[in-house]
Amino acid sequence: MSTRIRVRELSVTEAEAVERLARSRTEAARTVERARIVWLSHEGKSAPAIAAELRLDPDTVRAWLRRFNTLGLAGLEDAARSGRPPTYSADEVGEVVATALTNPGSLALPFASWTLDRLEAYLNETKGIAIKRSRIDEILLDEGLRWRKQETWFGERVDPEFAEKRGSSPSSTRKRRPTA
């Protein structure tokens, strides 16, 4: 049989914070649910009653109450999880972004703009960051950067007075007949 567990006595600031979190519409859903568990227990409800009201397993309710009793408000947040460590440090990612935003001419390079291949070669050879072009692209997209598309003949004109200089369309262009 499960042990009977209740939330510990809350301080005034804790009670206000838990109630605010329990009623929040902008906080993470998991945090709000955990705060509701604590708040309902603070109001005197038992773990099985809270579980029934929130449609949770009673053991889950007891686990969150124990965690809150031990850690306080910090116990409502997600704990750190294990996983693969990042391949590139924050400094290396920053270096990739900074290099991409730097004019190659200022680095005494023989070209006027970066490509992914040029960035890859520069970062590998000069900066000593072993990184592939696909990862460079992912990093730049995550930072909100994208490659400038080359202007083509049908793109925006460089000369703002082009339309006036060009003149009207030739009169040899036939007009369409209206269809019935």
What is the helix (H) or strand (E) element at residue 115, kind and residue range? Answer: none
Q: What is the mean pLDDT of residues 115-137?
A: 93
* Between residues 177 and 11, the one the model is more confident about: 11
- pLDDT higher than 90, residue 155: no
Give the span between the Cα atoms of 29 and 65, in whole angstroms: 17
Q: What is the pLDDT of residues 145-154, one digit of tens each?
A: 876 655 455 5
Give the span between the Cα atoms of 18 and 174, in whole angstroms: 75
For 124, the token pair is 């590998």
What is the helix (H) or strand (E) element at residue 157, kind and residue range? Answer: none
**pLDDT band of 176, cuts 50, 70, 90:** confident
Among 3, 11, 79, residue whose Cα is nearest residue 42: 11
CB-neighbour burial class of residue 143 (10 A; exposed 0-12, middle 13-18, buried 19+): middle
Q: What is the DSSP letter of 159?
A: -
- pLDDT higher than 60, residue 104: yes
Among 66-80, 91-105, 136-150, the least confident range: 136-150
The number of residues making up the chain comes to: 180
C-alpha Rg value of the chain to the nearest Å: 31
